[in-house]
Amino acid sequence: MGYWVYLVRCGNNTLYTGATTDLDRRIKEHNRGSSGRKGAKYTSSHLPVTLAQAWEVGTWSEALKLEHAIKRCIRTEKCQLIKEPEHIYQLTERRGLTFSVLLVSKDP
């Protein structure tokens, strides 16, 4: 089972960060607008969402830590992560995160 941290671009050009075990399902849930999960409330009023970038980690705990680290970033940092996903390694180093992140590039 994979654990994913992702950035989506919302219809109003804002960025939303989340974590999931099933990336395709979660994007579909966001676009349905009411999945009953935390976070869907924001994206449901800013549809459609498109996957901008995603990274895979080894555990759910790591996914939540990386999600939190990305959420603390300012927009320009998030945009840089989308354009240059390998910058995730510098982010994890700055935040003192010691786990491995599998770089997965998605076409924005």
Least confident interval from 39-43, 66-70, 81-85: 39-43
What global pTM score does this model have?
0.90
Q: Percentage of the chain surpassing pLDDT 90? A: 75
| pLDDT of the residue at 32 | 87
| pLDDT of the residue at 21 | 96
- Domains of the chain (ranges; CATH) run 3-104 (3.40.1440)
Asked whether residue 93 carries a pLDDT value surpassing 70, the answer given is: yes
Least confident interval from 39-43, 66-70, 88-92: 39-43
Q: String of b and e for 55-79 (b: at least 16 CB within 10 Å)? A: bbbeeeebbebbbebbeebeeeebb
Q: Cα(8)–Cα(20) distance, rounded to whole angstroms?
A: 13
Mean pLDDT for the stretch of residues 73-96: 96
**How many angstroms separate the Cα of 60 from the Cα of each of 2, 65, 66, 78, 96?**
9, 9, 10, 21, 17
